[in-house]
Amino acid sequence: MKRLSLLSGLFCMAVIFALLSNPVTAEAISGSTNINKTVHSTSILTTTPQRNPVPILAPPSPAGEYVVIIVETGLWGLTAIQNAVNTYRMDLNNTGYNTILYTSTIANAPALRTLLQNWFSTNNIIGAVLIGNLPYIRFYHPANTSGQSGGQGTYGADTFVCDLYYMDLDGNWFDTNTDTIYDVHNASSGADIFPEIYVGRIDATNRVLGSQTNANDIITVLNRIHSYRVGGVARTHRALTYIDDDWQLWADGTYDNWPAWLNNAYPTRTDVHTPATWTNATDWLNNRINQDYEWAHLCAHSGASPGTHYFGPGGSGEGTVTSTQIHNQVPTFNFYNLFCCHGADWITTDDLATTYLFSGSHSLAVVGTTKTGGMLEGSSFYNALGQNETLGKALGTWFQGIKSYAYYWLEWFYGMTILGDPFLTTHYDITALAPTISSSTHPTQSQWSTNPTPQFNWTIPVDVNGIAGYYYIIDQNPTTIPTAATGTYTTINGTLSSTPLADGTWYLHVVSKDNVGNVGSEAAHYQVNVDATNPTVTITSPTTGSFVSTTFDLVWTVTETGSGYSTADIYVNTSLFTTISAPLSNTTITDLITGTYVINVTVFDVSGLSGSHQITVIVLPLLPPGIPGFPFEAIALGAILAVSLGVLYRRRRR
């Protein structure tokens, strides 16, 4: 029996020495392991912090600006009006605007102004077009007898239609004597009397010429505007300035140089003003208004009769041209700027501006005044047109730039208005809209993917002249805008990354090119996040072959340069012990018993790739919890050996 005990003790010692001399070799495994877990669940991925995606940008210029289309309720009940307005609205949307369509009944002018103020506050609208017989106000200016300089002389009291009421949304307008005619316009502190938005009207209510109803006249003009936007009624891009006798000193450079205003918009131009006999009724009617010009800038008297031009000094001596004659002669210009007092007084029968707009087959818009006055200091207006701004925006720029608008020449400009489409430019197609991008391989821009060669596709943008192709760039800048010089051109609405992308965040940028050569000035953007490199992990404590207690701390480090460290799975002898979420990189192993254990740490990045490292540790009996490391185990082993040898020695002596 004693011999058996001695042999048992020696056997235990042999087992301990065997364990010490033959530890299990540790492995550092990069990439997938034999652990049956390689992809995280969706819930883990979605709770891990992500980088914010770059949103798809809004369409290019006008870059999502809001405009309003207001249609008289009675007209909107006509199917043909609805069709024409819907086409008009579609064209504005395709140009890049966000449109608001309003067709409900509007009781009066203050109600209409309140609507515009609300849209300006909530949508930051930039302009509105009023289609049909919609409310208006009249404004009263007292007589001016001061004989102001500038060649305009004195003039009497004036009561006139004033659409500035709808353009200046923060000013104060008063009818002080309650006669339904406004007579005071000012601004409170923090506001001004300048326009915030611009307004145009399309209405033939007071037109008698021609055989069409108001609805049919409006439909005709809307259809013509659509034709212009697709290149159908465009005239040669050149202008005619026609300045009658009383303004020659402003045309020839003595006081001003009115033809020079047009240089930025129309460097190709015909200027008719000197000698005085060149400008007369016969020449205007028979030789000018039926020529191939895009723009007419006409300075001639019309006075209290808004339907007649009066030529010659003081408006006499060189003939008259009536609205009836203009209508019958069929004018051919696209646009008109009438420096003709009262010439755009559209509440009178067959005023000049309405006649030019609805007669012929090319007219699109007329800028003019409803009262005594007209456009002075017009260089800012034509500069804006030359930069492809709309008629409305150009008029708003002009209003803001008039040096003495609120002071010396206040009365001169209150009647300025636009009849026709205020959203037109003098270049019928100036941009190509950006497409909308998607990716079948990387469908969610905010997520990380292990695929380094994304496939992109994009929609074909709507364009009045059709899309010819696209320029694109793939880089790591979220705001790049490709150009013809910097982008790669393709006629296919899609592309595959030609070479694998390195780990990181990348962006595809696309602009369109239309069939008349316009290249979009703003791009569509799409973000992809690529992480094709496995993370690596190293267990730093304990080291492989260490003696540990039944409870010990496990510590590791993670190297991940792509999507980021997400979670770590801890295995003990192939059984999942726990899962740790980033940024933690340690845990406590508990409840072990005497024996040898393989400890595996498998880490995952956000994209789902993994890396592993494993070690072997030995748990000995009688070790106090929480005291790992070799020195203690060596002392314990020495004590066991000493006791065993002592027992053997005593037994031999007996």
Q: Does residue 653 sit within a domain? A: no
Residues 6+ apart with CB under 8 A from 44: 566, 567, 581
| Residues 443/244, Cβ–Cβ less than 8 Å | no
pLDDT of residue 274: 87
Q: Would you give the DSSP letter of residue 411? A: G
Residue of 418, 359, 425, 362 lying closest to 388 (CA atoms): 425
Q: Does residue 266 sit in the same domain as residue 414?
A: yes
Domain span at residue 616 reads 2-38+534-648
Region 138-150: what's the mean pLDDT? 71
Q: Does residue 492 sit within a domain? A: yes
pLDDT of residue 61: 53
Decide if pLDDT at 143 tops 70: yes
Region 385-403: what's the mean pLDDT? 90
Q: Does residue 61 sit within a domain? A: no
pLDDT of residue 276: 87
What interhelical angle do 379-386 and 391-401 show, nearest 10? 140
Beta strands in 440-523 (DSSP E): 448-449, 455-458, 467-475, 488-490, 494-496, 504-514
Decide if pLDDT at 251 tops 70: yes
CATH of the domain at 136: 3.40.50.1460
Residues 6+ apart with CB under 8 A from 631: none
Decide if pLDDT at 403 tops 50: yes
User: What gap in Å lies between CA 309 and CA 599, rounded to an integer?
Assistant: 99
Q: Does residue 53 sit within a domain? A: no
Decide if pLDDT at 280 tops 90: yes
Residue of 118, 570, 109 lying closest to 347 (CA atoms): 109
Q: Does residue 397 sit in the same domain as residue 483?
A: no
Q: Does residue 514 sit in the same domain as residue 548?
A: no
Region 84-111: what's the mean pLDDT? 94
Instruction: Please identify, among 420, 450, 477, the residue that sits at the C-terminal boundary of a domain.
Output: 420
Q: Does residue 174 sit in the same domain as residue 314?
A: yes
> Binning pLDDT at 50, 70 and 90, where does residue 63 land?
low
> Binning pLDDT at 50, 70 and 90, where does residue 25 land?
very low
> Binning pLDDT at 50, 70 and 90, where does residue 646 land?
low
pLDDT of residue 281: 97
Q: Does residue 466 sit in the same domain as residue 357?
A: no
User: What gap in Å lies between CA 392 and CA 390, rounded to an integer?
Assistant: 5
Locate all alpha helices (DSSP H) within 96-213, ordered by sequence: 109-123, 164-167
User: What gap in Å lies between CA 333 and CA 207, rounded to an integer?
Assistant: 19
> Binning pLDDT at 50, 70 and 90, where does residue 136 land?
very high
Decide if pLDDT at 489 tops 80: yes
Instruction: Please identify, among 394, 420, 446, the residue that sits at the C-terminal boundary of a domain.
Output: 420
When divided into structural domains, the chain yields a total of: 3
> Binning pLDDT at 50, 70 and 90, where does residue 412 land?
confident
Q: Would you give the DSSP letter of residue 235? A: P
Decide if pLDDT at 543 tops 50: yes
Helix (H) or strand (E) holding 20: helix 2-21
Lowest-confidence segment of 105-109, 214-218, 232-236, 642-646 by average pLDDT:
642-646
> Binning pLDDT at 50, 70 and 90, where does residue 303 land?
confident
pLDDT of residue 650: 52
Beta strands in 194-323 (DSSP E): 198-202, 239-243, 269-272, 295-299, 308-310, 320-322
Q: Does residue 228 sit in the same domain as residue 104?
A: yes
Decide if pLDDT at 520 tops 60: yes
String of b and e for 249-275 (b: at least 16 CB within 10 Å)?
ebbbeeebebbbbbeebbeebebbbee
Lowest-confidence segment of 80-89, 453-462, 644-653 by average pLDDT:
644-653
Q: Does residue 465 sit within a domain? A: yes
Instruction: Please identify, among 498, 530, 562, the residue that sits at the C-terminal boundary of a domain.
Output: 530
Q: Does residue 256 sit in the same domain as residue 335?
A: yes
Residue of 445, 447, 441 lying closest to 606 (CA atoms): 447
Decide if pLDDT at 91 tops 80: yes
pLDDT of residue 321: 97
The C-alpha R_g of the chain, in whole angstroms, comes to: 42
Residue 382 burial (10 A CB sphere; 0-12, 13-18, 19+): buried
3-class DSSP assignment, residue 615: strand
| Residues 517/432, Cβ–Cβ less than 8 Å | no
Residue 455 burial (10 A CB sphere; 0-12, 13-18, 19+): middle
User: What gap in Å lies between CA 124 and CA 114, rounded to an integer?
Assistant: 14
pLDDT of residue 620: 85
Decide if pLDDT at 619 tops 90: yes
pLDDT of residue 405: 57
Q: Does residue 591 sit in the same domain as residue 446?
A: no
Helix (H) or strand (E) holding 352: helix 352-358
Task: Kindly report the backbone phi and psi dihedral angles of residue 395, in degrees, each rounded to the nearest multiple of 5, phi listed first.
Answer: -65, -40
Q: Does residue 285 sit in the same domain as residue 383?
A: yes
User: What gap in Å lies between CA 586 and CA 580, rounded to an integer?
Assistant: 8
Locate all alpha helices (DSSP H) within 96-195, ordered by sequence: 109-123, 164-167
3-class DSSP assignment, residue 585: coil
Beta strands in 323-436 (DSSP E): 335-339, 365-369, 416-420
Lowest-confidence segment of 241-250, 463-472, 633-642 by average pLDDT:
633-642
CATH of the domain at 643: 2.60.40.10
Q: What does the DSSP assignment read for 518-536?
A: -B-SS-EEEEEEE--S--E
Q: Does residue 296 sit in the same domain as residue 369?
A: yes
Question: What sign has the CA pseudo-torsion 330, 332, 336, 340?
Answer: negative
pLDDT of residue 115: 98
> Binning pLDDT at 50, 70 and 90, where does residue 43 land?
very low
Q: Does residue 190 sit within a domain? A: yes
User: To the nearest whole number, what is the mean pLDDT of the chain?
Assistant: 85
User: What gap in Å lies between CA 611 and CA 559, rounded to an integer?
Assistant: 10
Q: Does residue 495 sit in the same domain as residue 540?
A: no
Q: Does residue 49 sit within a domain? A: no
Q: Give the tens place of pLDDT for each residue, 582-617.
A: 999 999 999 999 999 999 999 999 999 999 999 999
pLDDT of residue 11: 36
- Pairing mode of beta strands 295-299, 335-339: parallel
pLDDT of residue 428: 74
Stated length of the chain: 654
Q: Does residue 46 sit within a domain? A: no
Q: Does residue 20 sit in the same domain as residue 141?
A: no
